[in-house]
Amino acid sequence: MQRAPLAHSHEFALKETSPNIGAGAVTSDKLSCTYDLVEQMQYLYVRVVKATDLPAKDVTGSLDPYVEVKLGNFKGVTKHFEKKSNPEWNQVFAFSKDRIQASVLEVIVKDKDVISDDFVGRVWFDLNEIPRRVPPDSPLAPQWYRLEDRKGVKAKGELMLAVWMGTQADEAFPDSWHSDAAMVGSEAVANIRSKVYLSPKLWYVRVNVIEAQDLIPIDKSRYPEVFVKVNLGSKFVRTRVSQSKNISPMWNEDLMLVAAEPFEDPLILTVEDRVGPNKDEILGRCVIPLQIVQRRLDHKPVNSRWFNLEKHAVVEGEKESKFASKIHLRVCLDGGFHVLDESTHYSSDLRPTAKQLWKPSIGILEVGIISALGLMPMKTRDGRGTTDAYCVAKYGQKWIRTRTIVDSFTPKWNEQYTWEVFDPCTVITIGVFDNGRVGGGDKASETKDSRIGKVRIRLSTLEADRVYTHSYPLLVLQTSGLKKTGEVQLAVRFTSSSFINMVYMYSQPLLPKMHYIHPLSVIQLDSLRHQAMQIVSMRLSRAEPPLRKEVVEYMLDVDSHMWSMRRSKANFFRIMKVLGGLIAFGRWFDQICNWKNPITTILIHVLFIILVLYPELILPTIFLYLFLIGIWNFRWRPRHPPHMDTRLSHADAAHPDELDEEFDSFPTSRSPDIVRMRYDRLRSIAGRVQSVVGDLGTQGERFQSLLSWRDPRATTLFVTFCFIAAIVLYVTPFQVVSLLIGFYMLRHPRFRRRLPSVPLNFFRRMPARSDSML
C-alpha cells in the first residue's frame, strides 16, 4: 500500500535529461555558440524567388503560373498569378531531413487551369550536391536556372532559386513553409508559425476629481446628489456622492484606470445627479484625449485644470451646447508605477512604465524549448485522437509562440529564445497548448485552444551560467481531478552580466518607489490588474496571427483570485509548515526544561550563564548559529528549478465537489441544492475561523484589562506588582535577575507542579469584552 503514493509522486516529478544540445560541447560548428540550448534539426531549404520569360500555355496566350516544390511524398506549392509571365514569389520551403526519403529535389513550374494544370518546365537537384549553410554566414545568393521539359531538354523560361541545407537557426526558418505541416491549408499556415509578440505599454491613468462649479440640475426643487463617472473604453469608475448638496460640489477623490499605448479611447467624464433609485441624470460631460495628458514620473503633483462641461439639450430638434458648468481636475499618466498584469507572487517584470526610470539589465535569460513527450489527445480528427501542440512563453513584455507541430504526441520544436533580465526575483511562465485552428474547417475560428499545462521557473533559483535541462510534468486540474497531460523538455540558462548589479538588486524594493510613496489599496490593485489583463488579452488577440484570449488569460492566471477550498487548505498547511519551526523549537525547549536529556540541559545551563555574564556574545552567537545552519544545509541545496508541486497544491487529494466548486462560473451556474450545501459548508468553516479570531481578540483584551481598571482588584494587584518590580530591578543587577529567571524556567521537574503558573492564572482571570457581545 505504500508504493502507490511513491509511484504517484514520481509520475508528477521533475526529471533531469541529457539532450544532444551544443551547450558545453567543443565543436567547430558555429551553431553551438549561437543556438546551443536546442538539438540541431537539419532542413533542406528552397527559396523560390521569381521566374522570367515563361511560355504561354492557354489558347488566349496567357499564363497563370505557380511553382510546385516536390521532394518524395512531400509537395509545397506557391501562390499562383493570373496572366503573368514574369511572376515574383519570394517564398521559402523547408523540408525536414529526418523525413526525406528521396534523392532528387524537383522544382516544377505549372500553369493553373480549370480542368488540369499544365506543365511548363522544371529544375531538379541531386541532394548529395546541395551546399550547406550555417549562420551567421550570409544568405545564399539565388541563381537563375534554365527550365527543362519532361525529357530533360532545355525549354523556354528561367527560374531564380536558392537551395541549401541548414538548421532551424536559419533566419528563413520562421517564415518558411514546413513539410511537417503539409496537411495544413495555405490559408491556415500563418496560424501555425512561430511568432514574437510584445505586450502593449500600460499606464495608470490618475484622475483627481476636485470640484465642480455652476452645475444646472434638471430638478431645481431638490438638493442635488452629484457624483462623477470616468469612462475609458469599456471600463468606468466613479466617485462617491458629494457631501456638499449644492450646485458647486466638492470631492477631492482619486480615481484610477489602465490605458495602453497607442491610446485609442479618450477619457470621458460625466457629472451625474442621482434623482432616484437606479436613475441618474447627466448634468455635464467632458472628453479628454489621453495624448494631451501630462506624464508624471515621480510623486510631485501635476497642475490642476478647469474643464468645461458640455451639456447636450434638444431644442426644437437641434443639438445645442452650453458651457456654463466647469469641473476642476488633476489628470496625469503615472509613469512611476509598474502596471501589474500578473500576480506579484510570480511576476515576470517589475519595472516602472516610464522608460526613463529603468535600470540597466543585469543579465540574459535563454530558454530552449526542445520537445514534449507523451501528450494526451486533445481532440478528434477523422475519427482518431490527435494533438497539434505549440508552446507560449512569457517574460516581461515579450511573449513568444513556437510553431505548431501538427498531429504529434511527441512534438519537437527545438526553438531558442532570449530575454533581457532586469531583476533576478522574477518568474518566466511557459505554457503548452493545442492549436484549435488546425483542420477545423469553417468553425476553426470559434474553436478555443485547449490548455495542456504550464511551467513556472523563478530566475533567482537558478545558478548563473549553468544550463538546466529537465523534463517538466504538464499538469492540468479538471473537475474530474488532477491529470498529467504529458511532459515538456526545456533547457534554461541565466547569464549574469554584472554580479555587483545583481547583488545590489537584492537591497532594492521589489516594486518601483511610487508603490510605497503613494501605495494603492488591495482592492484598487485587484481591479487595476483585472483591467490590465483584459487589455493585454484583447490587444494580443488582435495581432496577426492572434495569440488567443484564452491562452493569454491562462498564462496570466486570470482566475487566481477566485475562491477555492483546495487553495485555502493548501495555504493553511503552508502557514502551518512555516510555523512548524517555531513549534519544534518550543517542543525542544520544553524537553530541555523537563530534563529529558540531562547532558543537553546542563550544556544549555552553561551556555546560558556565559551569555548572561558576557551579553556582548549574544548577537555574535545567534549569527554564528545561523551561519552554521546555512553551511550545513548547503549539502542538501536544490539541484533543479522548482516545478508545480501537487502535494503542496493539495491537487492530488482534492474532493471532486471541491474541484467542481473551483471551476464553477461566477455567478454560480449550479443548482440551488448544491449551492445551499456549499454555503452551509462555508458557514461551518467560517464559524471555526470566527472562533479562532474571537479567541485572539479575547487575549488582546485581557492585556488591555491589566491597566484599564475594568477589574479594580486585578488592576490594583498588577499596578502594585509593577511598582515593587521597578524598585527591585533598579537595585538588583540585570545579570542577577536574568540568571534567576533562567534558572527558574530551567528548574528540575522535581521542583515543578503540573498546575498552571501564577502569572498565567492571573492573566486568564482578566476580563474581556466577549461577555458584552450579543
pLDDT digits (tens, 9 = 90+) for 520-529: 998 999 999 9
| Res. 430: pLDDT tops 80 | yes
What count of other Cβ atoms lies within 10 Å of the Cβ of residue 240?
9
pLDDT for 558 equals 85
Please state, in angstroms and rounded to a whole number, the distance separating the CA atoms of residues 435 and 406: 9
* Confidence class for position 442, pLDDT limits 50, 70, 90: low
pLDDT of residue 544: 84
Q: What would the pLDDT profile of 575-591 be if each residue is shown by its tens digit?
A: 998 888 889 988 988 88
Residues 6 or more apart whose Cβ sits within 8 Å of residue 457: 427, 428, 430, 492, 641, 642
pLDDT range class, residue 182, cuts 50, 70, 90: low
Q: How confident is the model at residue 188 (pLDDT cuts 50, 70, 90)?
A: low
Convert the pLDDT of each residue in 662-704 to its tens digit.
888 878 888 889 889 988 888 888 888 899 899 999 999 999 9
Whether pLDDT at 67 is above 50: yes
Confidence (pLDDT) at 453: 93
Q: What is the pLDDT of residue 357?
A: 92
d(C-alpha 52, C-alpha 87), whole Å: 7
Average pLDDT estimate for 311-331: 63
- For the ranges 20-34, 472-486, 526-540, 680-694, the lowest mean pLDDT is seen at 20-34
Cell reading at 168:
532551424
The stretch 642-651 carries a mean pLDDT of 84
Mean pLDDT of 115-139: 85
Instruction: Please give the Cα distance from 644 to 570 (Å, whole number).
Output: 13
**Bigger pLDDT: 539 or 772?**
539
- Portion of the chain with pLDDT greater than 70, in percent: 93
| Paired sense of beta strands 104-111 and 65-71, if any | antiparallel
The rounded distance, in Å, linking the Cα atoms of 483 and 475 is 6
753 vs 365, more confident: 365
Picking from 45, 134, 50, the residue whose alpha carbon sits closest to that of residue 93 is 45
On the question of pLDDT at 725 being above 60, the answer is yes
Give the DSSP per-residue string, 163-192. EEEEETTSTTSTTSEEGGGTTS-GGGGGGG
Return the DSSP state at 607.
Answer: H
Residue 411 in this model has a pLDDT that exceeds 60:
yes
Q: At 24, is the pLDDT very low, low, confident or very high (cuts 50, 70, 90)?
A: low
For the four alpha carbons of 98, 101, 105 and 111, in that order, the dihedral sign comes to negative
CA angle 464, 468, 469 (to 5 degrees): 165
Assess whether pLDDT exceeds 60 at residue 321: no
At 210, the pLDDT band (50, 70, 90 cuts) reads very high
Band of pLDDT at residue 27, cut at 50, 70 and 90: very low
User: Under a CB-based contact definition with an 8 Å cutoff, are residues 93 and 175 in contact?
Assistant: no
Res. 277 pLDDT band, cuts 50 70 90: confident
Q: Is the pLDDT of residue 311 over 90?
A: no
- Is the pLDDT at 5 greater than 50? The verdict is no
Q: What percent of the chain has pLDDT over 90?
A: 40
Q: Can you tell me the mean pLDDT for 540-563? A: 88
Q: Are 197 and 419 a contacting pair, CB within 8 Å?
A: no
The predicted model gives 13-28 an average pLDDT of 70
**Measuring CA to CA, which residue among 85, 92, 14, 15 is closest to residue 52?**
85
Q: With cut-offs at 50, 70 and 90, classify the pLDDT of residue 444.
A: low
Q: Is the pLDDT of residue 274 over 70?
A: yes
- Distance of alpha carbon 547 from alpha carbon 411, whole angstroms: 20
pLDDT classification of 218: cutoffs 50, 70, 90: confident
Count CA atoms within 13 Å of residue 699 on its CB side.
6
Confidence label for 422 from pLDDT (cuts 50, 70 and 90): very high
Q: Would you say residue 164 has pLDDT above 50?
A: yes
pLDDT at 338 over 80: yes
Residue 218 DSSP label: S
Lowest mean pLDDT segment, chosen from 292-306, 325-339, 428-442: 428-442
Of the listed ranges 176-180, 307-311, 564-568, the least confidently predicted one is 176-180
Cα–Cα distance for residue pair 703/764, rounded to 1 Å: 10
What would the mean pLDDT of 168-173 be, rounded to a whole number?
85
What is the average pLDDT value for the chain, to the nearest integer? Answer: 86
pLDDT tens digits, 130-159: 998 877 778 889 999 999 988 888 888 899
Q: What is the mean pLDDT of residues 448-477?
A: 92
Neighbour count for residue 48 (Cβ, 10 Å): 26
